[in-house]
A and B are shown apart, each in its own frame.
Chain A
Amino acid sequence: MGNVPVPAKHCFSVERLFPMYPRLPLWMQKDKVPAPNQLPEFVKVVEVGPRDGLQNENEIVPTKVKLELIDMLSKTGLSVIEATAFVSSKWVPQMADHTDVLRGIHREPQVKYPVLTPNFQGFQAAVAAGATEVAVFASASETFSRKNINCSIDESMQRFEKVLHAAKKAQIPVRGYVSCALGCPYEGKIEPEEVTKVAKRLHDLGCYEISLGDTIGVGTPGSMARLLGAVLAEVPADALAVHCHDTYGQALANILTALQMGISVVDSSVAGLGGCPYARGASGNVSTEDVLYMLHGLGIETGVDLAKVMEAGDFICKALKRRTNSKVALAKTGV
């Protein structure tokens, strides 16, 4: 595409358009497998700090702080910022102000603000509050599904089917998540085939992108390569994302492995917000700053301004009265 900037090439490439417009001729998307050794030129970073991050912080954050955080992140160049979750405030008090948050943020035109909607009720509330993208969360582990959302994987899929059906009608894109993709705090090992089944179902149901989550951060480049080898046989690379937790310090190595296998969407959380609820005191989400540092060092474009992300990280850490989990932030500010 000649002199078109890389992010634009990415947006208009067949890889990106096809999942949203499945009627594009198949011949256009055939043979577009990533060459080995080749990293993507552009990686989309999905910022989950305001939702996944804050949800796993002990301190309840006032609405205006959440709004300020999202507004700051909106100016960094990030193209997707997970804003909040339309879940029961009884279960997730941190997200009780979901409507106020969604209505209160200053939306940047190029930025998407997906919100979690575990069921049809949540979806309706989200749409009423102005949501233009939603996300659904399934699990590759039966036990985790039952413990986390009180139903089996199958039952959760039925709930999501309702959401997806309604979302399609309302022309609202849906992102799917698969948790426990590399291990479960209850079941232990999770077979790649189980993850593939769930990812494929979500994709077939209409999710434009499936984010594979290493929920307890136990994965290593070895298990990541095995997982992706299995999933890529059923779901195209450009419909996949990785959501790595850094609980065992493996996140960046796992992300690098995913990039080498053709994945070009990475979830991360500003300042590494969000500890691990299964290992007290341990870290959880990988920090956006550290991911960006690696991507930029690899010459991969993201469109994101690292310095501005660090400012947002600094802001939210001060509000939470906690130290950043980002090593880049620690190194650069010397605090």
Chain B
Amino acid sequence: MAALMMRGSLSVRCSPSFGARSWAFANSASAQSVSVPTGKSLPEQVKIVEVGPRDGLQNEKTVVPTEVKIELINMLSEAGLPVIEATSFVSPKWVPQMADQEEVMRGIQRRLGVRYPVLTPNLKGFQAALNAGAEEVAVFGAASELFSKKNINCSVEESLQRFEEVVRAAKAANVTVRGYVSCVLGCPYEGQVSPDKVAQVAKRLYSMGCYEVSLGDTIGVGTPGSMRAMLSAVSSQVPLGALAVHCHDTYGQALANILTALQMGVSVVDSSVAGLGGCPYAQGASGNVATEDVVYMLHGLGIHTGVDLTRVMDAGAFICRSLNRRTNSKVAQASCKL
């Protein structure tokens, strides 16, 4: 079985008594590309956007010391992830977990070729981010009016106007902007959300200058059916190559939804190491989909990600120990007796 072990740290922290675990990784890494039953080929490459340090930690109850955040981001940088959402320039009064935003930004060891976007809800946040050395920022819109009002205290239109300011300033400073749309498959307040509304908001973000728009199933209620309908509507307004999916696993549907998105031509997937970040709308339920589980599926499909799964698992094990919690990643659970 030693020949089947992946080079790296799998044997260091875990002691698989069966070849199954190590074999599983070797197998998933060496699978050949398959075309899916729908007849359309899956993308050959998928970009994983790691949101654990921001979206993940922001939704964890335990406030994590700055040096732990920095160590986490550094470990993720070494795992081959091309994009790591580092922190958020929001008011520390509202989001205490992100209060150390500047220290984190200045403290991380940036790896060449890796991007470290930060959230900037408005011009003020953008300027602070720029001062702290940000080269990419992100703005968060919503497809639901009620959610927008409850979450960021303004209407969708008002938020888009704020973002336009940010995008203008970002352009002037040569900083790229990623857009997010939340509640694309359902809203905790409004319930069903119309795919056309999602398409409208996505189009606005893209037209104003966001290079990519990440479509978030904020409460994880989506299924492959609603994912397909939403993506059909959005892709008629925004090119597929500029779209990403940000699926929550609250109802266990994330991987099936991501697979559907891939089948429709989306090739950027957001995920969170160890599945960090529960759902604030369903107490005790899970939130973000785990990076390890996504990478396992992608590699099993023969899709190239550039990500070293064992190193992501190491980062996941590290942050879970710091948070004193169990991982939400099934791949991690299956591989280690933790």
Binding site for B on A (CB under 8 A): 36-37, 183-186, 188-189, 216-223, 225-226, 246-250, 252-253, 255-257, 260-261, 276, 278-283, 287, 290, 293-294, 296-299, 326-328, 330-332, 334-335
The 9 closest A-B pairs by CB, nearest first: A297-B223, A220-B300, A249-B330, A327-B252, A260-B37, A249-B293, A290-B252, A282-B334, A188-B23
Q: Which A residues are CB-close (under 8 A) to B251?
A: 290, 293, 327-328, 331
Contact of A257 with B334 in the complex, beta carbons under 8 Å? no
Residue of chain B at shortest CB distance from A327 = B252
Contact of B285 with A327 in the complex, beta carbons under 8 Å? yes
Contact of A248 with B224 in the complex, beta carbons under 8 Å? no
- The segment out of B74-82, B160-168, B204-212, B253-261 that lies at the interface is B253-261
- Contact A248 to B331, CB < 8 A, known contacts A37-B38, A280-B337: yes
Contact of B34 with A225 in the complex, beta carbons under 8 Å? yes
- B200 at interface by CB-CB < 8 Å: no
- Contact A222 to B31, CB < 8 A, known contacts A36-B39, A256-B260, A328-B252: yes
Residue of chain B at shortest CB distance from A249 = B330
- B302 at interface by CB-CB < 8 Å: yes
Q: Which A residues are CB-close (under 8 A) to B23?
A: 183, 188-189, 218
- B144 at interface by CB-CB < 8 Å: no
- B286 at interface by CB-CB < 8 Å: yes
- Contact A221 to B334, CB < 8 A, known contacts A279-B21, A294-B223, A327-B251: no
| Bound form: Cα–Cα A164–B218 in Å | 51
Contact of B334 with A253 in the complex, beta carbons under 8 Å? no
Binding site for A on B (CB under 8 A): 1, 4, 18-21, 23-24, 27-28, 31-32, 34, 36-39, 220, 222-226, 249-253, 255-256, 258-260, 279, 282-286, 290, 293, 296-297, 299-302, 329-331, 333-335, 337-338
In addition to A290-B251, A297-B226, 8 A-B residue pairs with Cβ atoms within 8 Å of each other are A183-B20, A220-B296, A220-B300, A249-B293, A250-B300, A255-B256, A256-B259, A298-B224
| Bound form: Cα–Cα A36–B263 in Å | 13
Contact of A221 with B36 in the complex, beta carbons under 8 Å? yes
Q: Which B residues are CB-close (under 8 A) to A296?
A: 223
Q: Which A residues are CB-close (under 8 A) to B252?
A: 252, 287, 290, 293-294, 326-328
| A–B pairs, 26, beta carbons within 8 Å | A183-B20, A185-B19, A218-B23, A220-B301, A221-B259, A221-B300, A222-B31, A249-B297, A249-B331, A252-B256, A256-B224, A256-B259, A257-B36, A257-B259, A276-B334, A278-B18, A281-B333, A282-B333, A290-B251, A327-B249, A327-B252, A330-B282, A330-B285, A330-B286, A331-B220, A331-B250
Contact of B330 with A256 in the complex, beta carbons under 8 Å? no
Contact of B224 with A294 in the complex, beta carbons under 8 Å? yes
- Contact A183 to B27, CB < 8 A, known contacts A253-B259, A280-B337: yes
Q: Which B residues are CB-close (under 8 A) to A335?
A: 284
